[in-house]
Structure 1
Amino acid sequence: MTVAGENGQSQVDTAAPAARQIGTWAWLGIGVASAVVGLLPWILTGMRLPLQNLWGTDTLPAEMPIALLPFSQYSITLIAGIIVVGAAIAGVVARSTRARQGRFGLAALTAGVLVTQVIATVQAAVVVGNGLRPGRESLIYLVAVVSVATASFVVGALVLVLIARMPRAGALIGLGIAAVAVGWWLGALVVHRPGLVTETQTALLGLLRWVPAILCGVAIGWCGVNTVGRVVAAVTALASAVIGPAIATAVSSATGTRVLARYPAEMLEYGVQVFQQVLGISELTLRPILTAIIVAAAVLAFKAVLRRRRAPLAEACP
């Protein structure tokens, strides 16, 4: 664009044009799509509800009803992975497209994700509730799996907001939590059908153990540790890489123990014991922390090299 200068001569306006805004309905669709991508590992299974120990009738796996979430005490990490990863995807999209969101873009994106996940949770709860045999055990079981989905929903919403809107330190915390969920999500994507696991799948699952720590390290490197807030965020992200899997193991172990189904207090106590035992295993605690630190250091070093290379170019420009 050409404008008149102070001396009357024409000058070129070098200001960048405003980014084209994306409509509110499009953002709503992007939110729904993010939630659906999160559901991908479950969609690939055919979405048949897993066999239930407390099901009211004898039913073959192929005859189980369709459910939008895999409600089962053996699918705790998958439920969490599906919900949190979908929300994290939306958060990353929102952060990378801030200039194109408009006034209600983020709200529409968030609504698309959360409403889709709420619908999936309610539908799965209704299907499971209608199929379980009457009794206290069934009620406790249903409340437990719904509670897991609800907690995952809350964590996912927090992750979305942290990544989408907070400064880098806040976004790092969200990315650290999401990194743990990505590990569960990828594991379900690799082994998305029940049955024997192939050698290739076993090898991939072994490699996937490193993914959360690597992603956490990349996020720390992206954020940097040059302020107190970012250091605190980095420590929080490292803690999530250890505590997240420990919580998942504890919940899966407690809810998967049928003998404790009638005794919620004992189930909770057993879960706490498993959580403490997992944290006490150095291989499960030190390995992800050290891996994340090494990756973060590598990313920070790479960024420093890029800055040094760009500095002479910047000085050479008028």
Structure 2
Amino acid sequence: MSHAQQVTEQAPPPRTVHGSAARDAAVALLIGVLAAALGLTPWWVTGATLPLQNLWANQVMPDQMPFSLLPLSQYEGITLIALLTTGGAIAGLAIRLWNPVHRGIAKWCAVGGVLFVQIAATVQSFMVLSNGLAGGKLAALYFFGMLGGVVLSIIASMVAALLISAKSRATTALGVGLVAVPAASWAVQWAVGLAGRSNMPIEVSTIAHWVPAVLVGCALAWCGLKPTRRVVVWVLNLVFLWVVPAVFTAVQSVLGTRVIAGDIPEMMLMGRQVLTAALGPDGGAGPTVLLALGVGLVGVAIRTIGARKASTQP
């Protein structure tokens, strides 16, 4: 066989690989777009009317506020974090379950899809906010403060997508621990969007309090304790479960007050005080951390027993 014939016969495989990579990239991009949209859907089902603003230029009724793809409001800070980070987490989980051949390409294309939707939603929402706010220093501080919070949430969304889509069980489990609290808040937003805040059963908030612990515990059980370095993932996830709710409480307390609005030193002081109290023994994190640890250890024990039984069977 001549050299030219060998080259001709070997040419199709690269084209096949290239086609497969392009197909994986296109599917992953679509996954990212749909995941980001799903992350924002709990807000969209409410009608996506911009919440009333304290610094709005004109006095209007709630139903007269303009359409906004994001719920921009200092009272909806935690909701914004939940909507954006959960979108990234859903994209990462979809890539993890799909396990494409060209994983690296697919992972980054999914991140690109999420980023496209979230940036588009951010641009549209802040244009609406900018057009309606009254002028002045306080309005500018509010605008750029909200923008900074949204940008940080989008970055957290990207991190969540990359962690959860990773091949390593430890890395995926770490990503689940990072987004467990926002994901529970996202689920609550579904209840709020469908039933209305005034009609939401009181049991929803009680269940939502324990959901992150169950998610973290299941992730730890799935991750396992071997090799030993995975203990680091356990420690970090339990720390996340302790710290993230405290940070959310501090952020919501600071953003939700009108008494010291615009007074940055006072807001920082209040945030530190609330955060310190939330991280303390009376903050309520102890039972949830213990529940996650218990679920993780029980899960590891069940998996170990099951593996031993499977190995002894003929």
- Mark yes or no: TM-score above 0.5: yes
The yes-or-no answer on 1:178 pairing with 2:179 is: yes
CA separation in 1, counterparts of 2:197 and 2:117? 32
1:103-151 Cα offsets, whole Å, 9 max, x none, are: 6322211100111111112221121121111011111111221121111
Provide the secondary structure at the position in 2 that maps to 1:217: helix
Equivalent position of 1:67 in the other structure:
68
Q: Give the direction of change, closer, same or farther, for the CA distance of 1:151–1:111 in structure 2 (3 Å limit).
A: same
Q: What do you get for the CA RMSD once the two structures are aligned? A: 2.0
Gaps of 5+ in 2: 1-16
Equivalent position of 1:279 in the other structure:
279
The yes-or-no answer on 1:159 pairing with 2:157 is: no
The yes-or-no answer on 1:219 pairing with 2:219 is: yes
Query: Which structure 2 residues correspond to residues 145-294 of structure 1 after superposition, within 5 A?
Result: 145-165=146-166, 167-192=168-193, 197-198=198-199, 201-282=201-282, 284-294=284-294
Instruction: Give the conservation status (yes or no) of the 8 Å contact 2:277–2:283.
Output: no
Query: Which structure 2 residues correspond to residues 52-131 of structure 1 after superposition, within 5 A?
Result: 52-101=53-102, 104-131=105-132
CA separation in 2, counterparts of 1:166 and 1:284? 34
Q: Give the direction of change, closer, same or farther, for the CA distance of 1:269–1:88 in structure 2 (3 Å limit).
A: same
| Mean CA deviation greater in 232-241 or 261-270 | 261-270
CA separation in 1, counterparts of 2:49 and 2:311? 57
| Mean CA deviation greater in 301-310 or 216-225 | 301-310
Equivalent position of 2:311 in the other structure:
311
CA separation in 2, counterparts of 1:144 and 1:78? 16
Equivalent position of 2:302 in the other structure:
302
Q: Give the direction of change, closer, same or farther, for the CA distance of 1:257–1:25 in structure 2 (3 Å limit).
A: same
Identity %: 33
| Mean CA deviation greater in 108-117 or 165-174 | 165-174
User: 1:69 corresponds to which letter in structure 2?
Assistant: L
1:43-84 Cα offsets, whole Å, 9 max, x none, are: 111110111111111111111111111111111111011111
CA separation in 2, counterparts of 1:275 and 1:54? 27
Provide the secondary structure at the position in 1 that maps to 2:193: coil
The yes-or-no answer on 1:140 pairing with 2:120 is: no
User: 1:133 corresponds to which letter in structure 2?
Assistant: A
CA separation in 1, counterparts of 2:235 and 2:177? 10
CA separation in 1, counterparts of 2:106 and 2:31? 10
| Mean CA deviation greater in 223-232 or 128-137 | 223-232
CA separation in 2, counterparts of 1:138 and 1:300? 52
Q: Give the direction of change, closer, same or farther, for the CA distance of 1:181–1:256 in structure 2 (3 Å limit).
A: same
| Mean CA deviation greater in 55-64 or 293-302 | 293-302
CA separation in 2, counterparts of 1:281 and 1:137? 36
Q: Give the direction of change, closer, same or farther, for the CA distance of 1:283–1:272 in structure 2 (3 Å limit).
A: closer
Query: Which structure 2 residues correspond to residues 1-16 of structure 1 after superposition, within 5 A?
Result: none
Deviation of the 1:23 alpha carbon: 3.6
Instruction: Give the conservation status (yes or no) of the 8 Å contact 2:181–2:241.
Output: yes
How high is the TM-score relative to the length of structure 1?
Answer: 0.87
CA separation in 2, counterparts of 1:45 and 1:108? 30
Equivalent position of 2:25 in the other structure:
24
Matched length: 295
Equivalent position of 1:45 in the other structure:
46
Deviation of the 1:284 alpha carbon: 1.7
* More helix, by proportion: 2
Deviation of the 1:33 alpha carbon: 0.4
Displaced runs of 4+ in structure 1, greater than 3 A?
Answer: 20-23, 99-103, 193-196
Instruction: Give the conservation status (yes or no) of the 8 Å contact 2:107–2:162.
Output: no
Q: Give the direction of change, closer, same or farther, for the CA distance of 1:293–1:25 in structure 2 (3 Å limit).
A: same
Instruction: Give the conservation status (yes or no) of the 8 Å contact 1:169–1:229.
Output: no
User: 1:218 corresponds to which letter in structure 2?
Assistant: C
Deviation of the 1:166 alpha carbon: 5.4
CA separation in 1, counterparts of 2:277 and 2:194? 30
Provide the secondary structure at the position in 1 that maps to 2:302: helix
Deviation of the 1:227 alpha carbon: 3.0
| Mean CA deviation greater in 97-106 or 208-217 | 97-106
Deviation of the 1:212 alpha carbon: 0.4
Deviation of the 1:98 alpha carbon: 2.3
Q: Give the direction of change, closer, same or farther, for the CA distance of 1:221–1:194 in structure 2 (3 Å limit).
A: closer
